[in-house]
Amino acid sequence: MRRILLAAALLMAAGGAAGLDLQGHRGARGLLPENTLPAFARALAIGVTTLELDTALTRDGVIVVSHDTTLNPDITRGPGGGWITRADLAIHALSWQELQAYDVGRIRPQTAYAQRFSAQQPVDGARIPRLAAVFDLARRAGNNSVRFNIETKISPEQPQLTASPEVFARALIRLVRAENLESRVTIQSFDWRTLQIVQREAPQIATVYLSAQQPWLDNIRARDVSSPWTAGFHITRYGGSVPRTVKAAGGAVWSPHFGDLTREQLREAHQLGLKVIAWTVNDDADIVRMIDWGVDGIISDYPDRLRRLAAGRGLALPPATPVTP
């Protein structure tokens, strides 16, 4: 009897409690405006393990949730209600108060972006939220287990658009500590400099090493021999292996673009003791393939789809916690 219980407990630890990390990308971008409170509320209502989101720092030091370092003309309307046409309005140059004048509740019609997310429901009037408001939302939902995978949006190639890695990472660490959320937050970045700072200054907050080796984004081999993105850890010194490069940087979690990932790399990462979180996986067939390969987590614009397919595979599911945004 004891042996059976022990076996059941071990099974739970392997496939149950540790489960598949279901991450709602920018909340639930396929369903509601990205990185807004309504999108995060939807993800909480669907039931995700983790809210994935991106951050920027305003001129007056408020951490806000935005994928773009500059206001994105594809999703942003100005104080007069018209679509912004400039692509150079850096969030870092705006105060929190100034930022509140912009509406990010709808994708501009007829853009490629609108076509790509044609099922997204608009929420006119939605604003770029403070990161603290996302934490509050989860609290109001009574959800004490959801995790936050927080990306620092910062580019070593465009330092003028953001705070420095130190200022950015320290602001984030300060807020996470003040909210007492060290154990439920991961800080992720393509710019590994911010991750090195977090590991040094707040080792109790886990880091996630993002990688992309796509024609439209490559932070691993950018400028080939000395990518400014990887904090001095270059892949050529680690046999051309991204998992080994992440490991050398002190990482415990590797988050590759799912199109870059191979079964061999996944096996290598697991052998190194790394967890692997694939982004951004939206098609049923791709999600199922990633689950069957045995990734540790999946980031999707459609957390509803992700949850349905995980349920179909008999995986443990996180609680669903409805809340009004």
Nearer to Mg ion, 187 or 268 (CB): 187
Beta pairing partners, 255: 210
CB of 153 to Mg ion, least distance (A): 8
- Interior CA angle at 181 toward 42 and 184, to 5°? 60
Identified binder of Mg ion from the candidate list 27, 37, 50, 54, rule CB under 5 A:
54
Nearer to Mg ion, 130 or 153 (CB): 153
CB of 300 to Mg ion, least distance (A): 12
The CA–CA distances, whole Å, from 225 to 157, 233, 260, 277 equal 15, 10, 20, 26
The CA–CA distances, whole Å, from 108 to 76, 123, 127, 216 equal 8, 12, 15, 22
Which range, of 14-22, 50-58, 168-176, 230-238, touches Mg ion by CB under 5 A?
A: 50-58
CA 224, 219, 274, 8 torsion-angle sign: negative
Which range, of 54-62, 86-94, 107-115, 255-263, touches Mg ion by CB under 5 A?
A: 54-62
Of residues 116-135, those binding Mg ion (CB under 5 A): none
Q: How many residues bind Mg ion (CB under 5 A)?
A: 2
CA 183, 187, 192, 198 torsion-angle sign: negative
- How many Å apart are CA 67 and CA 56, to the nearest integer? 8
- Site mask for Mg ion (CB under 5 A), range 4-43, x = bound: ----------------------------------------
Nearer to Mg ion, 242 or 277 (CB): 277
Q: Where are the beta strands (DSSP E) in the chain?
A: 21-24, 50-57, 63-65, 147-152, 185-189, 206-211, 213-214, 217-218, 253-256, 275-278, 297-300
Which range, of 84-92, 147-155, 258-266, 267-275, touches Mg ion by CB under 5 A?
A: 147-155
Using CB under 5 A as the binding rule, whether residue 151 contacts Mg ion is answered as yes
CA-CA-CA-CA dihedral for 92, 96, 97, 103, to nearest 10: 80
DSSP string, 147-176: EEEEEE---TT-GGGS--HHHHHHHHHHHH
Using CB under 5 A as the binding rule, whether residue 68 contacts Mg ion is answered as no
Nearer to Mg ion, 46 or 208 (CB): 208
CB of 52 to Mg ion, least distance (A): 6
Nearer to Mg ion, 219 or 244 (CB): 219
Which range, of 52-60, 156-164, 212-220, 229-237, touches Mg ion by CB under 5 A?
A: 52-60
CB of 323 to Mg ion, least distance (A): 22
List interacting residues with Mg ion (CB under 5 A): 54, 151
